[in-house]
Each structure stands twice: as structure tokens, then as C-alpha cells.
Structure 1
Amino acid sequence: MRQKLYIDGEWVDGEDFIAINKPYGMEKFAEIANASPEQVKRAINAAKQAQKTMKTMTNLERARILNQISVRLQERKIEAAEVIAMESGKPFKHALAEIERTIETYQFGAEEAKRLIGEMIPMDAALTGRGRVGYTIKEPIGTIGAITPFNFPQNLVAHKVAPAIAAGNSIVLKPATQTALSALLLAEIINQTDLPAGAFNVVTGNGTLVGDILVKSEEVDMITFTGSTVVGKSILKNAGLKKVSLELGSNAGVIITDGNNLERIAERCVSGAFSNQGQVCISLQRIYVLESLYSDFIRVFHEKTRELIIGDPLSPDTDVSAMITPKEQSRALEWIEEAQQYGAELVSGGIIEEEVLQPTILVNVPKKARLSCQEIFAPVVMVNKVSTLEQAIEEINDSIYGLQAGIFTQKISEAFYAQSHLEVGGVIINDIPTYRVDQMPYGGVKESGNTKEGIKYSIDEMTQSKLVVWNNS
């Protein structure tokens, strides 16, 4: 299956192509176009021209387009989930859940498009403000270059596309190479809507080439990127004065001080640590348990992990499958072995069987191990005991990242203490840090990024306020 680029409302042949293999089984199943520099620039120019039309459209017109996307994705949701499972290795039931969320994300975009308003300014609060009326209006920022990762190839794209359209911007999308088919399926859907030609473009291929052109182009007004901190820093360095929105890495942690609900807590922790093979920005990587609960938690957590079904992502029962590439699985295995060399103990997993890195639990992991201080992005989790809540919070804060953290507690005082002292962008009380719904503000501090996503909050990033002052005196 050979795929084309989507530029200015048309399907465009590539000059050469990149083979895409299934992560599970490594069977070749598609080829995507490798965009040339001229084709990337053509897409940017098309978006720049289409933005003039986008800016003149009413909020209602843009809302209707987003609803059209939602409806058409609903009609093709099984197909869309199967594409995700094939190209990324995400188990089908999780891929289907992603599509359901994506449908909802476009619905949120349609709703927020109708609420695109500025604010009144109390001019007469100033000595020289008598007789004047002031207000702000929100205008689209312009042409947006969106660079998206492989792990949520529909929903994380929707978190760029939906707010961009809602705000009246045009988009050039560079999806992750391995999961480009999901972006091209979205292009098929958008091609059937009333969105003006050129307002949405998909350029696939070499990430460095396409990304560099988007980042450095003076015709692109904003870059929105989800991915690694290393790449995010490079984008920030090379983007010039254009706006840059970054959602970056994490090594999310949870604290457990609640001993009455260990069965439920363990189930949630298994979900947080191993869903999508741990390839989630807020995947649960670090668990800190009060020492009085530690042994019981490890026992139950291990039991729940052993119940996971491992295998073909297209099977409806599969919970865990292959990571995105064999190279990434081998890297994760190196981190596991390194942690053991530093004194960590392996409770389960730690091996690759039938192409799949088995869900891995390590305990007593020292701080110098990469598993403790960096982002593994794999089905691997560490569990360490702590003596106090304060110690647990110190452990979580001892990180270059700060996306989300969770705490399970029955004491409101502990919840409020954690809320105040955890150095993260989001604190989840009585749940895992992997929890997210698509209208909430989502983003981190420190090296986890510089923005908030969630449709309303992304629209704020993708618009600029214009002040208008009337002198009526």
C-alpha cells in the first residue's frame, strides 16, 4: 500500500518512499512518501494562502467543520483503530479507546470554537480612562507547523488540529514516520469536509528534513510539538521568534499511603505502567509506597501484572504487545540490566519473548539508575519503599521532569500537602498520573514542556489578543 502526501487539498506523489513495518511481526505493510524540500515548502505556502480564508470564517462555520470530522471518524472508527494497531503495535482495544477519545476531542473543538471571545477592559479604572471603552478580540496566530509522535497517532494529532481549526489557523502536519497512515486517514476524512483546501496538509518522510524546514520557515507562525525533550530544545533553539509550544518528556510517579484499597490501586497501577507498552508521556514509571504497605502492594501488583495478556495487537484480548521498534525494546532492556547492576531487584519481566518486552517490575532501584531519573518509555516500572509522605514527594520532585503525579490516600491533609508540594503540572488525587481527559489543561513544568494542551488551553496558545480602545469623549 503506497501512500501519497496531502497538500492543498490534493494527493501528491512522493519522489521516493519509506517502507513501514508492523512492530509486531515486522511485516512490511505500507510505504509512505518521503517529502522533498520543495513539497514541504509547497505545503507551507498552501497553508499560508488558506489561512486568509480561515480567518474570515465564522465561529459557527469552523465548529461545523470540526463536527463533520467527528462524525466521519465515528463512521470509520474500527478501520482507524485497526490502522493504529498495525502501525504502532498498540493493542486493538486501546486503539479503539483512542479513537473514541479522538472523536470527543473534535467535539470539544467544535464547542470551543463557538466560545472564542476576548474580554472587556475597565478603562475608567485609570485616571485617564474616562470616556473610553476597551476590549480585546482573539485572532488566529496564522500558519501552524504541527509535529506529532507515534504513541497516540490520532488523538495527539487531534490536540493540534482541532484547536487550530477552531481558532481559524491553517496547519501543516508532520506525523511520526511509523504512524503516518493514521494522519493520512485523517486527511481522507478532512477532504470530505467543508475545510478550505490548503488549510490542512500532511507531509510525511524524513523527520529531520521536514521538521527543520517547518521550524526555520519564516512563513510558519507557530510550531506545536509533542515528543522528546532533546528534540524540543533543538526546536526552541532554531525557531527564531515564532511561537513554540512544547509537550515533552516525563517519568511520572505515584505515591501510595492508602492501605485499604490495595487491590484497586494495584489494578490502576498496572494500567498506568503497561498500557500501550508504557509508551505514554504520563506512563507510570515510579511508584513510592509506605514501607508498612510495601510487601502487600508488591504481592498484589505482581499478581495483577501476571494477568496481562501478551501478543498480537490485532487480537481483541491483547493487553501488551511489541514496542514501536526492536531497537527501542533493546534499549529498554539495557536500562533494566543497568538497574540490576546498580542493585535493583527484578520481580517480573526483564526479558523479550516472542518479540515482546515482557511487563517488567523492579524494586529498590537507586537514583543513579536511568530508570529512576530518565524517561524509559517502555513497559517497565520501579517500586521503592518510603518511610514518610514527605520522603515520597522529595523522590518524585528529584527529577528534571514534572508532567503529572498521583497520590492514593484516605487523608485529606495528605492530599492537600501533595497538591502544594509536588513540582508537576498536574496532581491526580486517588488515581494514577496516567489519567487524562481531553478538555482538561495538560502540560508540565521543568523539562516536561512549556505549554498546556486541552482544547480550550491550546486555543489560547494558538490565538493572539488584539486590543481595541474607543475614545468616546
Structure 2
Amino acid sequence: MRQYNALINNKLIDNGQWLEIINPATLTVAGKVSALSAKDINDAFKVARKAQKAWEEKTLLDRINALKKFRDLIDQNKQEISKIISEEIAKNLKESLAEVVRTIEIIDYTFEEAKRIEPSAFTGEGMGAQNKIGIFSRVAKGVVLAISPFNYPFNLALAKIIPALVMGNTVVFKPATAGSLVGTFLSKLVIESNLPKGIFNIVTGRGREIGDIITSNPEIDMISFTGSVGIGNQIRKNGSTTDLVLELGGKDPALVLDDLNLDKYCDEIINGAFGYSGQRCTAVKRVLVSNKIADKLVPLLKAKLESLSVGMPKDNAFITPVIDEKSADFIQTLIDDAKEKGAKIVTGDKRKKNLMWPTLIDNVTLDMKVAWEEPFGPVLPIIRIDSIEEMIEISNNSQFGLQASIFCQDISKAIQTAKKIKTGTVNINSKPSRGPDSFPFLGIKDSGEGVQGIRESLLSMTRYMGLVINY
């Protein structure tokens, strides 16, 4: 059984208290991590504050060079890291390794992009002010609290941590409970890479005991959080004077406007809806399509869906168990509600504990919960709508606004439709996606606040500091 410690001031913390992490595939204990006390949490923020000034005073290249050994250790340990991810969240081994490799690529790009964030110089002459030059630089905000989700526990952790550190901030990192093993595995790499003490601290514990303590600490200058709407809104309440970047839920629609390339559309929809068993904020979570096209689309989706492998992550199955039985119970309530109200189960609706077969539901109507609620699981509702205007209205009536997809060979029509959808990003002829990671990534409404992406994260972790020279 794996056992990893929290990290404060480059010291592994063993206070005798432990939190067990359950393997979703076996429903047995995968390992345990430190369960910190309120005092431990406060100590982490204090040392982060104490270390911040000296870290920021280093040159950008010095900070990057200090982080390169940490990056190299991730590369050297990528196979082990991918095994931990797979054991901890039931992501198949192939996808777990891809997550680590993608993270290394993000780190490398971040190092290079940080060098391109240069000061801006202005003169006052356009406003009638002579003999005045303003130089405005990006400086660190201070202490950043980074909170990652379970579904991409490595990628979405380092995509916050590295930009924060590169720009001169110090970090207190809280991984999701399912995600704490790989999160605390980083403790070992921090020590081995000899990073300066206190700049990167890792805290773990029972959320119900330390959640509010972590997010309301007075030392925090910024919170970068990815997770549920409920916790995100709680952070909004607790962090009224703290800068926030929040990535929350989604109910991403796919609007199918023609049948000119249905096979390609189906591939994108299937991968978008069922990748990592649908446990992604950017998953396709409903398809809006006319009756005429649906009669062709649904049989194609059914055939492709039934060809997906269902099983355990160690066998690289495409569909693996969802994160826990509580989540599976919720997903099942959405399926059952749709059935009771007259929807048709095209395929799926089979379950063994928290392993759920991919389910395609046709004839979903707007009074069904699955039309509006985010399942975060392998379920795809088909809503038959003949009017494009009504498709747009349904898309916009959601509490969420993360991404959408439009499938249409008439690019003019696709773009005109996309402009009417109130969401962060619209993808034309492809599934919703967080990447490429060099693109801005954002949501509106209950899907989030602020902007991520490599350059945008570097900017969000900093503020302007002006120097005005009078001569």
C-alpha cells in the first residue's frame, strides 16, 4: 500500500493521522496520505509567506533553472506517476501516461512563455504630459492556493503550480482527496530537486475538517481552483478579497446541424462524451439534433458506443469505473428519471457497483433531469429539436457556459450559430476540449471565473506594478 506525506517547508509531515484513498477499480485501499490539522495548514501558509520575497527577488531565469530539475524528475518518474494515477482514479494506464507527458509539455511551454512576458513602456505625450515615461511590469501576487480536481489530478495541479512559481509566487497545494496520492508523491520530487524551502507546500486531509480553513487563510493572495460548482461557490463566499480563478462544471451541448459527415461527427461525439467515462467538465453532455438527422445519427452512435471496451484500467479499457459508488448512484438517478418520463434507452443502463456501461438515451425531453444536470459519467442524452433557434435557446438556458460543439459543413452557418451561444468556447466540427493548452480556457455563469491556458495562467498569477519616471 502506498503511503505519502504532506510537505511543509521541504519537510515531510507525519503527525500520526492518515487519510485512506480508495482505488475505484477494486474498491480497496490504494494508499494513505497525511491528514493535517488546522495548525499544520496555518504553518504551511506562514512558511509560504516567509519564503515568497526571496523567491520573487531571484531572476526569472534563476527561477526557471531551479524548477528544471523538478521537471526532469517528473520525466524520469513518469511511468510510476502514471501507475499512481491509474490506481487512484481508475483512469486507464494509457491515458494516465498521456496526462503526465502532456504535463511535461505544459511545463516546458510555460518556461518559454514566461520569457515573453516583458514590461510595457508608455509615454504621457498623448495626454499632454511631457517628460514622463511609465514602465509597467508583471509582478507576483504573493501566496497562491492551488486546488486540483480528481479527474486530472496531475495535469491540472501542475498547470496551476508551475505558472505560479515561475512568476515568483509561492504555493500551497491542496489536491482533491482522490488525487492525493499523486499529489503527495510530488513531495519526494520537491525534496530531491532541492527547491528552495517553503516555496512549494503540499497539504492533505479530510475536506470537511480543513476545507474552510484552507480557503479562508489570511495569507492567501490568490486561489486557483478546479472542481465542483458547490465548492467553487463556497470559495467565492469565503474569498471575497482574494483573487480567484475558478474552473467548475459544464453541460456542454453538441448541435448537429447537417448529416454531411455523420461518421466523423459520431467519432467526435463519442470521444467527447465518453472519454475517461464522461468524468470531464468538457465532456459532451447532450446532443441537440433534428428528428430527420437523429434517425441516422442515433444508430451510428449506438454501433460505435457498443464497440467501446468496458472494464478495468489495468486492461486499458476505454470505459472504467467512475470515481465512487456515490457518483454512480447519482448518475443512475438521472437515467432512471429519464426512463420514468418516457425516454428510450438505446444502449447501456447496465451497472456493476461503480462500473457503468456507456448509456445512450434518445427522446429526452426538457422536463428530464438529464437534459440539464451534469452527470459526470458515461451518459449521453439525445434531445430532438427541429429549430436551430430552439437549440440555441436550450443551450443558453443552462446554468453552465463552458464549451459547446457545432457540427456543420456550412462554415458560415456554423459561425453564425456559434456567435449566438453564450459559453466560453464553441468548437466547430470537433468535440469540446481544454487544449491546445496554449489556447485561453474559460467558462461563464456557473462554469467558472477567470481565464486559464499557459499564457493566461502566467498573467493571472501576476499583477501590474508601475514605475513612472519624470525627467
Q: Give your verdict on TM over 0.5.
A: yes
Name the residue aligned to 1:47: 48
Q: CA deviation at 1:370?
A: 2.1
In structure 2, give the amino acid aligned to 1:30: G
Name the residue aligned to 2:73: 72
Name the residue aligned to 2:397: 398
Q: CA deviation at 1:194?
A: 4.8
How many Å separate the matches in 1 of 2:212 and 2:105? 32
Q: CA RMSD in A?
A: 1.5
Q: 1:355 to 1:131 in 2, by over 3 A?
A: closer
SS at 1:176 equivalent: coil
Q: Does 1:428 align with 2:462?
A: no
In structure 2, give the amino acid aligned to 1:182: V
Q: CA deviation at 1:180?
A: 0.5
Within 5 Å, which residues of 2 pair with 1:181-260? Answer: 181-260=181-260
Cα deviation, 1:100-135, whole Å, max 9, x if unaligned, reads 2111111122112212323222411102x1111112
Cα deviation, 1:263-317, whole Å, max 9, x if unaligned, reads 122112111111111110111101112332211111111111111111111113x
Q: CA deviation at 1:445?
A: 0.8
How many Å separate the matches in 1 of 2:113 and 2:189? 21
Answer with 321-330 or 360-369: which moved more. 360-369
Q: Does 1:263 align with 2:251?
A: no
Cα deviation, 1:13-48, whole Å, max 9, x if unaligned, reads 033112122101112121111101111111111111
How many Å separate the matches in 1 of 2:42 and 2:415? 51
Q: Does 1:280 align with 2:319?
A: no
Name the residue aligned to 2:23: 22
Contact 1:147 1:173 in 2 (8 A): yes
Q: What residue ranges of structure 2 are gaps of 5+ in the alignment? A: none
Contact 2:324 2:354 in 1 (8 A): no
Name the residue aligned to 2:411: 412
Structure 2 length-normalised TM? 0.96
Structure 1 length-normalised TM? 0.96
How many Å separate the matches in 2 of 1:390 and 1:184? 49
Q: CA deviation at 1:446?
A: 1.0
Contact 2:325 2:353 in 1 (8 A): no
Name the residue aligned to 1:449: 448
How many Å separate the matches in 1 of 2:135 and 2:266? 51
Contact 1:162 1:455 in 2 (8 A): no
Q: CA deviation at 1:262?
A: 1.3
Q: 1:204 to 1:120 in 2, by over 3 A?
A: same
Answer with 405-414 or 107-116: which moved more. 107-116
How many Å separate the matches in 2 of 1:384 and 1:22? 35
Aligned identity (percent) is 31
Contact 1:116 1:167 in 2 (8 A): no
In structure 2, give the amino acid aligned to 1:295: D
Answer with 137-146 or 262-271: which moved more. 262-271
How many Å separate the matches in 1 of 2:46 and 2:185? 22
Answer with 159-168 or 287-296: which moved more. 287-296
How many Å separate the matches in 1 of 2:240 and 2:420? 35
How many Å separate the matches in 2 of 1:365 and 1:66? 50
Q: CA deviation at 1:382?
A: 0.7
In structure 1, give the amino acid aligned to 2:341: Y
Contact 2:364 2:383 in 1 (8 A): yes
Contact 2:328 2:353 in 1 (8 A): no
SS at 2:136 equivalent: strand
Contact 2:109 2:454 in 1 (8 A): yes
Contact 1:214 1:220 in 2 (8 A): no
In structure 1, give the amino acid aligned to 2:103: T
Q: CA deviation at 1:254?
A: 1.0
Q: CA deviation at 1:98?
A: 1.0
How many Å separate the matches in 1 of 2:204 and 2:178? 10
Q: CA deviation at 1:52?
A: 1.3
Name the residue aligned to 2:137: 137
Contact 2:21 2:181 in 1 (8 A): no
Q: CA deviation at 1:197?
A: 1.4
In structure 2, give the amino acid aligned to 1:121: F
SS at 2:367 equivalent: coil
Name the residue aligned to 1:370: 369
Cα deviation, 1:392-420, whole Å, max 9, x if unaligned, reads 22221120100011111111211221231
Cα deviation, 1:204-236, whole Å, max 9, x if unaligned, reads 111133331222111111111111111111111
In structure 1, give the amino acid aligned to 2:130: R
Contact 1:15 1:35 in 2 (8 A): no
How many Å separate the matches in 2 of 1:184 and 1:18? 12
SS at 1:212 equivalent: helix
